[in-house]
Structure 1
Amino acid sequence: MKTKFIAGVATATLLTAAMPAINNLPFVKNANTQKAEAATDVEEAFLNKAAKQAQKAAKTYGVYPSVMIAQAIVESGWGQSKLATEANNLFGMKANDGWDGATYIANTREENSSGKSYYINAAFRKYTSYEGSFDDNGKKLRLGVTWQPDRYKGAWLENASTYAAATKALTGTYATDHRYNISLNNHITTYDLTKYDPQISTQAKSYTVAKSGATYAWPTDHAISAKSGSVSKGQTVTVDKTITYYNGSKRMHIAGKGWVNSTLFENNSEQPAIAVSQAPKSASVKVSKNLMHNAYVYDSKGQRIRNIKMLKADNVIPTYGQETIKGKKYYRVGENQYIAAGNIDGTSRILKHNSYVYNEYGNRDNNLKYKKNQSVATYGSAVTINGQKYYKVGIREYIKHANFAKN
């Protein structure tokens, strides 16, 4: 493909045609540089203007602000390139066919396949402020290019455990320069850009859902992501990752479901995660299972372990094979830790009457009905709701105990 240049703009050599490529990178310091340095007046002014816009765009698209700011520094020369000063264009975004905004014409140098240079006038996107430029860059990092939508997925917050992992993922995909991540990393560490990044916690906690709603595939604004599932009011779920942004808002990942905003949960419903140990040392292959019923944890002798809290229903938990203890089947969930298999697999029971299905409050809020003599999987022992016994037959679904034939 042709190599493109813009006179007077300092940026990295980019792969995407929407972004022009400039070779004059700022001085690259040793990759192990960790000490933050005081910024010059020009640098300070740029950060004051750019950081908040980067944080807003990063929250919208689920990427690292520090990486976006470092990209802007490298590609616009701290906002001093002509494209940046005249058009607020920090990332060299071209005005392609899908762009209906203002444009800025710049003289650019390109190279043909033989390496011979020639100049053309090209139209670039012109923004009223840095906000539009950062938003377009965030959109590109999340949505990729038409022929490869997940091209930059390695830089997404949910996939990159650190900013360094994100910059590495952009090297060879966003930029051809094999030292691109080194340049970005040095700017991030030298100018302490991680202070603009969200806080990411992988501490698992349980929450109660305040209102029914959808879950989403990405930790982005909901308008950006496809839906991945749903949760119901009153349901207890396990959150295994929480992203806290600059403005205090949170996006949280529900295990086995997807991402939601923290506003979906009841206030003060946070509880410590279910306390089971790490994978057993002699573990077989881990298989995630839906826990359909509250479950106590037992040891290898079938004795309940009192100092481990009951595992809550409607969560996804790791299991490591089955064992039979005193004639009863269990799933192994940790080192010398087991739960009754019936809480996961269910027990088949025959209905002796046609039966309606009720919710966890004992209300019939659906049109579900099972037929007499039908075999139905029930989970765990019978539970009491409003003074009556029920068997759980699904998530938030119960059938009266009396409707089943005695085993």
Structure 2
Amino acid sequence: MAKRKKKNYASPSFKKVPVILSVTIVLIGIFVLMSSLKKITDLPIQGNNQETTDTKNEEFINKLVPVAKELHQTYGILPSIIIGQAILESDWGQSELSAKYNNLFGIKSFSPNDDSIKLKTKEYKDGKWIEISANFKVYASWEDCMRDHTLLFVNGVDWDPYLYQGVLLASDYKTAAKALQASGYATDPDYAYKVTSVIEKNELYQYDK
């Protein structure tokens, strides 16, 4: 009698996944996961960066407030204008001119007797920005620079001693900022707007009281 062949009852479409393939898939998954986690940890922490910047900016303002208030009491110039210009002109004391040479306001030198440094700067002329080289005053400290800045408004310039009277006599920062631009302190056609914006954003008007 012929032997019966055993039937294979397993589904013909069923295939066991080799162990090595399973391990490979798991390893790929782990690699992808680790890569994703690395990207997440490499991202800058925006909150901490902003907090650091805010702290440095606050420290910068606090350094200038006492001198600005003193100059206000003596000469009448608003502290908000002094500090606002310093922020705008020096980029919070980070510019080369302010960090290395203590010139917070971009004050130029026109006398051979001044301690000065020649640097490149941008000016607005004939409807466009151009780069020029100019001599800027060098100061021993930020305080010395702030005092010289105020005396510029008090004494004016050789050709017009009353050039900045509008800045000194202004009762509010908006009027003073407009007087700054009208007097030609800077060539930027938006200078008054920029100074005002800095003052309002940082609530510098609180120091005018």
Class of the TM-score when normalised by the shorter of the 2 chains: 0.5 to 0.7
Q: Describe the SS at the equivalent of 2:182.
A: coil
Following superposition, the deviation at residue 187 of structure 1 comes to: 1.6
1:196 partnered with 2:207: yes
CA contact (8 A) 1:58 1:138 kept: no
State the distance in 2 between where 1:176 and 1:116 align: 9
Following superposition, the deviation at residue 164 of structure 1 comes to: 1.5
Change in CA separation of 1:143 and 1:98 when aligned onto 2, cut-off 3 Å: farther
CA contact (8 A) 2:125 2:187 kept: no
1:124 partnered with 2:158: no
Matches for 1:36-51 after TM superposition, within 5 Å: 40-51=54-65
Matches for 1:41-190 after TM superposition, within 5 Å: 41-97=55-111, 99-100=113-114, 102-108=115-121, 120=133, 122-156=134-168, 159-173=169-183, 174-190=185-201
For 2:102, the aligned partner's letter is: N
Change in CA separation of 1:170 and 1:119 when aligned onto 2, cut-off 3 Å: closer
State the distance in 2 between where 1:148 and 1:181 align: 21
State the distance in 2 between where 1:116 and 1:185 align: 21
Following superposition, the deviation at residue 106 of structure 1 comes to: 2.2
Change in CA separation of 1:49 and 1:114 when aligned onto 2, cut-off 3 Å: closer
Change in CA separation of 1:150 and 1:48 when aligned onto 2, cut-off 3 Å: same
CA contact (8 A) 2:124 2:187 kept: no
**Alignment size in residue pairs:** 156
State the distance in 1 between where 2:65 and 2:146 align: 10
For 1:138, the aligned partner's letter is: T
Change in CA separation of 1:86 and 1:56 when aligned onto 2, cut-off 3 Å: same
Matches for 1:212-227 after TM superposition, within 5 Å: none
Going by fraction, where is helix more abundant, 1 or 2? 2
Change in CA separation of 1:180 and 1:40 when aligned onto 2, cut-off 3 Å: same
What is the TM-score when the length of structure 1 is the normalising length?
A: 0.35
State the distance in 2 between where 1:111 and 1:195 align: 32
Q: Describe the SS at the equivalent of 1:85.
A: helix
State the distance in 2 between where 1:109 and 1:129 align: 24
Unaligned regions of 5+ residues in structure 1, if any? 1-38, 200-407
Match of 2:39 in 1: none
Unaligned regions of 5+ residues in structure 2, if any? 1-52
Deviations 1:313-333 (A, max 9, x none): xxxxxxxxxxxxxxxxxxxxx
For 1:180, the aligned partner's letter is: Y
CA contact (8 A) 1:53 1:130 kept: no
Percent sequence identity is 37
Deviations 1:360-385 (A, max 9, x none): xxxxxxxxxxxxxxxxxxxxxxxxxx
State the distance in 2 between where 1:62 and 1:141 align: 10
Matches for 1:259-278 after TM superposition, within 5 Å: none
Following superposition, the deviation at residue 111 of structure 1 comes to: 8.6
Q: Describe the SS at the equivalent of 1:41.
A: helix
State the distance in 1 between where 2:175 and 2:121 align: 32
Change in CA separation of 1:86 and 1:116 when aligned onto 2, cut-off 3 Å: closer
Following superposition, the deviation at residue 94 of structure 1 comes to: 2.2
State the distance in 1 between where 2:187 and 2:123 align: 16
Q: Describe the SS at the equivalent of 2:135.
A: strand
State the distance in 1 between where 2:127 and 2:176 align: 33
CA contact (8 A) 1:89 1:127 kept: yes
For 2:148, the aligned partner's letter is: D
Following superposition, the deviation at residue 114 of structure 1 comes to: 11
Match of 2:50 in 1: none
Q: Describe the SS at the equivalent of 1:145.
A: coil
Following superposition, the deviation at residue 116 of structure 1 comes to: 9.9
What is the TM-score when the length of structure 2 is the normalising length?
A: 0.64
For 1:162, the aligned partner's letter is: D
Deviations 1:227-275 (A, max 9, x none): xxxxxxxxxxxxxxxxxxxxxxxxxxxxxxxxxxxxxxxxxxxxxxxxx
Q: CA RMSD in A?
A: 2.8
Change in CA separation of 1:148 and 1:193 when aligned onto 2, cut-off 3 Å: same
Following superposition, the deviation at residue 53 of structure 1 comes to: 2.3
Following superposition, the deviation at residue 98 of structure 1 comes to: 6.3
